[in-house]
Structure 1
Amino acid sequence: MPRPDDPQPTRLGITIPLDLPLAEHPPVLRALQAAGYSDFWTAETARCDAFGPLAHAAAVMADARFGTAIASVYARGPAALAMGAAAVGEAAPGRFVLGIGASSPTLATDWNCVAFERPLARVRDTARFLRAALAGERVDAAYDTFAVRGFRLERPPADVPPVLVAALRPGMLRVAAREADGAVLNWLAAHDVPLVRAHLDEDSIVTARIFLCPSTERAVVRNAARRLIATYASVPAYARFHEWLGRGPALARCWDAWAAGDKRAAAAAVPDEVVDALIVHGPVAECAARVREYVAAGVDVPVLKFLPLDPARELIGDALAVGSALAGARG
């Protein structure tokens, strides 16, 4: 049980879409909201874009909050990004947060045929453009990485959504602090949050995606998680991030094996201490306590992502259980 002084999340998010067709989401979304989830956030992958599932969910839940974590600044042009945000902002007035970020060379170049160049400047310029466009201004400006000529939203959102920037290290964190309303964090431990939070303004909104598998089969979870962590931690941006966080020595053997083309050895080289830092696992009560650690460290909106690391687990049931545990602690 949490101590009386344990910080409880005033908002609790979950990643959607879930592992079922969108047409089957409505009753599950309502059940998740009843279990204590206030926020529903998307990640842009090869399955769905960032906005479609939110527009669908907004029609189901009239009082929930929604967010993108994140919409890529390379996957669509600036005007299309503003229009997508305006549409969800209109569907959920005052209850939508737009998270943007560079994403990855795979999504930008391999999938969308856009050169992944100057990501920090592209995110900064997009945030500046969105500030003006979502406020209803006519934008006719040349930025460092693109130019927009004569664009104005036909119907800007009455409630301008906050803009968050996906940020890992100090440079992008400064963009989040100076050009946006806060940051979206990813793939970090609760004890990493204060280091990251120190580069943001005191009033910055901080959202973090937290990966969970509520399973007591720790060996099963760790073995499956090693493969996932090796893949992400070997992406150059995340490798530099974890070096900055101090995990360079712990991940050195993983990176060496990955660079040599031996992905199996890279996964095997991820130590238990890294798995346990980056993946919340264990009994439901322990998982809920770990989520509260992120809140205590400075995360305003924890966004949970339930992982199928233990094939015996039922993810929606796990999500309902963890949400109920945290809602019960909030009283």
Structure 2
Amino acid sequence: MTGSARWGMTIPVDGVPLHRQAEVARELEGLGYTDLWTGEGTSTDGFTPLAVAAAVTQHVHLGIAIAPVFTRGPALLAQTAATLAATAPGRFSLGLGSSSDVIVERWNAVPFTRPLARTRDLLRFLRRALAGERIDEQFDTFAVRGFRSAIIPDPAPGLLVAALRPKMLALAGAEADGAILNWLSAPDVARIAPAVLGQAGVTPAARREIVARLMVVPTADAEAARRIGRRAIAAYLNVGVYKAFHQDLGRDALEPMWKLWAAGDRAGALAAIPDHVVDELIVHGPPEACREHLAQYVAHGVTVPVIFVLPAPGVDPLQACRDLAPR
């Protein structure tokens, strides 16, 4: 299967109405996709599409990458995760992440403070709550008094941590069932994976997962793909956490973009992104070339590649899913 035992797709599939997403999920499973993963940004919430998919599929694994640790209370997040895990037994993974100050503070009016500690505390709380424990404890960043979930999923869902930088990667390696990565090149994975797989934690390293959401523009028009890729790179990598991540990686080629963006020159910032950076971070080309690029991520340590199809002129998103299905 294209060098990977697992092969994921992001749902909902862009360009397909939400009322048709059930049939899409069924088709994706039939095409051989082993995983369907959601996110939470400016589109749907992360859990509803998974519930829809759970109702119409039999075997495909379902995951959210990620549920922000600030935007739901601890008990509500435990209840939501337990409900979905019990609806699709053994088929659900919960990805946790700090998200960003944009989503947390600007959009949800929640202070974005101590993100590492909040993620750690919520991970520990959920591990116990999803096992059916009664929780009455003061954590470092919140307190829970007298909560016990009435739903105890068997098995409990896997808990993964979205991680980019060393401390969050260390948390993923030491206490979670794996890490969720994005916005990195295949060689970058080789630098990051040991921080997750090389620690003794709750899950043996041999079973710990590294999930990566990978941006794919499935078109043979390289210039069109790079234009789309530049817009996506500018939108994401000027956010503080992603900028710091790529500075850590030594991606100095993005310094001109960061300077121009900070100065308010959006057009100049886009133009300053070199082709080779786009080609490293954005998977593009005909379907077979995309599959080969995705396989490089697997070769460097990703266990679950998850495709995110970026809209491209003249490309039908659902047909792109068919074309990119595992071989």
Shorter chain as denominator, the TM-score bin is: over 0.9
SS of equivalent to 1:320 = helix
Deviation at 1:228, TM superposition (A): 1.3
Taking the aligned partners of 1:83 and 1:13, their CA distance within structure 2 comes to: 25
Pick one of 241, 251, 259 that aligns with 2:262: 259
**In structure 2, what is the equivalent of residue 319 of structure 1?**
321
User: How many aligned residue pairs are there?
Assistant: 318
> What's 1:283 paired with?
286
On the 8 A contact 1:7/1:295 being kept in 2, the answer is: no
Deviation at 1:75, TM superposition (A): 1.2
Q: Structure 2 length as normaliser, TM-score?
A: 0.95
8 Å CA contact 1:181, 1:205 repeated in 2: yes
| 2:208 maps to 1:208 | no
Distance (whole Å) between structure 1 residues aligned to residue 155 and residue 315 of structure 2: 40
What residue is the counterpart of 2:231 in the other structure? 227
Aligned-CA RMSD value: 1.2
SS in 2 for 1:199: helix
One-letter identity of the residue aligned with 2:302: V
For 1:312, the aligned partner's letter is G
Counterpart position of 2:188: 192
In the TM superposition, residue 7 of structure 1 has moved relative to its aligned partner by 6.7
* Aligned position for 1:8: 3
Deviations 1:241-271 (A, max 9, x none): 1111120x20010000011011111111111
Question: Would the aligned equivalents of 1:125 and 1:145 in 2 still touch at CA under 8 Å?
Answer: yes
| 1:52-86 deviation per Cα after TM superposition (whole angstroms, max 9, x unaligned) | 11011100102211001000111111111111111
Name the structure 2 match of 1:3.
Answer: none
* Equivalent of residue 38 in structure 2, options 33, 37, 42: 42
Supply the distance in 1 between the matched residues of 2:229 and 2:192 (Cα, whole angstroms).
24
Separation of aligned partners in 2, 1:122 and 1:262: 35
How does 1:229-248 map onto structure 2 within 5 Å?
A: 229-247=233-251
SS in 1 for 2:96: strand
1:65-76 to structure 2, matched below 5 A, reads 65-76=61-72
Residue type of the alignment partner of 2:315: R
Q: 1:109: Cα distance to partner?
A: 1.2
Q: Report the TM-score, using the length of structure 1 for normalisation.
A: 0.94
- What is the CA deviation profile of residues 207-238 of structure 1, one whole-angstrom value per residue up to 9, with x for unaligned ones? 00011011110001101211210121111110
Percent of residue pairs bearing the same amino acid type:
48
Aligned partners of 1:208 and 1:302 also within 8 Å: yes
Q: Distance in 1 between matches of 2:49 and 2:88?
A: 13
Contact kept in structure 1, 2:79 and 2:151, CA below 8 Å: no
Moved over 3 A (4+): none
Deviation at 1:26, TM superposition (A): 2.1
1:92-148 CA-to-partner distances (Å, cap 9, x unmatched) read 100111101011112111222110001011101110101100111011111111111
Separation in 2 of the partners of 1:182 and 1:13? 16
Corresponding letter in the other structure for 2:319: G
Long gaps (5+) in structure 1:
1-5
Aligned partner of 1:118 among 111, 114, 121: 114
The residue type equivalent to 1:46 in the other structure is T
